[in-house]
A and B are shown apart, each in its own frame.
Chain A
Amino acid sequence: MQPAHRLIEEIVSSSRIPSARRRREVLRELQAHVEDAISSGVTERLAVDNLGDPREIASHFAWVYRKERAVLRLSVFLLSTIAVAGSIAAIVMAMKAGIAIGFGVPLPRIFSPRHTLIEAIDILSTAAAYVGLLSLEKLFDRRHFPKSAALLALIFAALAAVFSMAGRPWKFLLFGLVAGIFLRTIQVLLKNQAARIVVVPACFGAIGLISLRPLTVASWVVTGLGYLAMTHLAVRVDRALFKGLQQL
């Protein structure tokens, strides 16, 4: 059953069926089919030939389970975004509290409800853009980063248009999109982690330079460090959730 087993493994592994339980079931079913063929007098080689092109069978299965795959991807995206944004918001806020104390600034000034809300929305938007990029990249076989960035820009533009028409704030979406694409670009282009640790906070700190206030610069540097941590966390959370949800 060696060639048959290899062929069946190939079919199942490239079928992109999202549920691990369902993949195991397809494996069992195809194995039972080959066993039936062999026990009816067909040679293993012929049974394998009769089964057909593994890529064609896998692509048929992929088409049948396309909706489940989309639901899984969307669920992973939503859960990852919430988990990553929540963690990073907590880290950034804690670091900013430390800076405020260091600069002798009263905490209520840093954590005014309006400012905290804007910051939280910016972090959520950036996390959504970054995790969204990771998810969209899996849709493409080649040139996945530019294609997913373009698709994400279209999605965010549509969302911004809807928010704008509904009279809701939409600029945070633009911030999130730019920050998300910037972070992913840095991650793709700069393979050296030490270089990323320097470049990302420096770029975010440069935004703070506009105000010419040390506290604001420090606050942006901290934001940059938080986002850098997010890029590490998001990849792991995305992978773990994807694997975990596949087992359900």
Chain B
Amino acid sequence: MDIDREFLKGSVSLLLLNLLSRGAMYGYEIFQEASRRSAQAFEFKEGTLYPALHQLEKKGLIQSEWRTGENGRERKYYALTPKGRKSARDYEKQWQHLTGAVNAVLGSE
């Protein structure tokens, strides 16, 4: 099912922080992991992932470093900062609260 991009916009930070809460990842890995876990529901354009990551880094929620992989290829890995870890928990609580409230409204008919 196609998801309205406006819905996705507000939840990108939550998704990225949640994915990175399980460990440092590089861009392509983040995208693949998001697609895999959502059963390909998140079909956003891959290039738009990077401005979102840079925005989170500027806010101090994630940090990055270049690492050389086993195949000799360099990749930029992103990892949560302590501030980002706290934000990830806060966003998740807000999301649970919001979806609970929306479900309550939708189910009340």
CB distance from B79 to the nearest CB of A (A): 15
Of B14-22, B69-77, B90-98, B101-109, the stretch lying at the interface with chain A is B69-77
Q: Are B51 and A57 in contact (CB under 8 A)?
A: yes
Interfacial chain A residues near B55, Cβ < 8 Å: 64
Number of A-B contacts (CB under 8 A): 68
Q: Interface SS of chain A: helix, strand, loop or mixed?
A: helix
Contact A63:B51 (CB < 8 A) given known A28-B74, A33-B28, A36-B75: yes
CB distance from B26 to the nearest CB of A (A): 7
Whether a CB of chain A sits under 8 angstroms from the CB of B37 is no
CB distance from B54 to the nearest CB of A (A): 5
Write the B39-60 contact mask toward A (1 if CB under 8 angstroms, else 0). Answer: 0000001111011101100100
Q: Interface SS of chain B: helix, strand, loop or mixed?
A: helix
Interfacial chain A residues near B66, Cβ < 8 Å: 28
Number of interface residues of A (CB under 8 A): 25
26 contacts between A and B (CB under 8 A): A26-B54, A28-B76, A29-B27, A29-B76, A30-B50, A33-B27, A33-B28, A33-B46, A33-B47, A36-B28, A36-B29, A36-B75, A51-B45, A51-B47, A52-B48, A53-B47, A54-B47, A56-B47, A56-B48, A60-B48, A61-B50, A61-B51, A61-B54, A64-B51, A64-B54, A65-B54
Binding site for B on A (CB under 8 A): 11, 25-26, 28-30, 32-33, 35-37, 39-40, 50-54, 56-57, 60-61, 63-65
